[in-house]
Amino acid sequence: MAAEDTVEILTEKLKIYQKLMESFAPSIPVPLNILTPQGSSTPSTQGSSTPASIPFPTAVAKIIYKPTKRYIKVEEILALTDLKKNEYNNLLSEVRFVMASLHTDFNIPYKSQNINLISKIIKKFTKRNPNAPFGEGNWVVKELIKKHLQHRRDYVKRKNNIQHKKGKEKEKEREREREKEKEKERENEKEKEKEKENRNEIERENENIKCK
């Protein structure tokens, strides 16, 4: 074998050994958090206080448009907001809590309520329940407020009707008692008239006897 061939073969082997050595060399460690450098000014959320909220799903991405009708039934609200009945009841209770905490007068109808108070109720409610569906222009929350005020009016109306009914029953009872008293008086009058007739009859008989 020629010396030139031997040198060429050794050169090729040396290149192969160098590649092998490079493959076994330790790699430079890459930092795990490349996008967030050390000492970043991004505020940490760990330990931050979040308002207590009802466990609803994540915020609804779609816009929930308000129906054009004036009165919206509960069933329609459930269908439009994808809420379950128990979730709706939880929202209703939460709205009542917020309204009571802001000293809302439940006897005043919605259209007569102070608009600033309504805004405060909506603001506090949305802060406490960030994942609840609010609808375009917060119409869902406004409807819940209306429901509570309507419930109060219905309660007062039922209470007044019951009291009115009881008052009518008492008045009828008093009327019956008065009729009984009148009937008793009429009976007494009849008895007196009968006694008078009997006395007159006896007196006539006595007069007849004297005449004989």
In a domain, residue 183? The reply is no
Per the domain annotation, does 200 fall within a domain?
A: no
Question: Looking at the domain assignment, is residue 100 inside a domain?
Answer: yes
Asked if the structure places residue 97 within a domain, the reply is yes
Domain holding 99, by residue range, is 74-146
Number of domains in the chain: 1
Query: Does the residue 168 lie in any domain?
Result: no
Give pTM, 2 decimals: 0.50
pLDDT of residue 38: 39
pLDDT of 112: 92
Residue 139 CA to residue 96 CA, distance in Å, equals 16
The verdict on residue 99 lying in a domain is yes
Domain membership of residue 126 (yes or no) is yes
Answer yes or no: are the C-beta atoms of 91 and 142 closer than 8 Å.
no
Residues of the chain with pLDDT under 70: 1-7, 17-62, 212
9 belongs to a structural domain: no
**Cβ-Cβ contacts under 8 Å for 102 (sequence gap 6 or more):** 117, 120, 121, 124
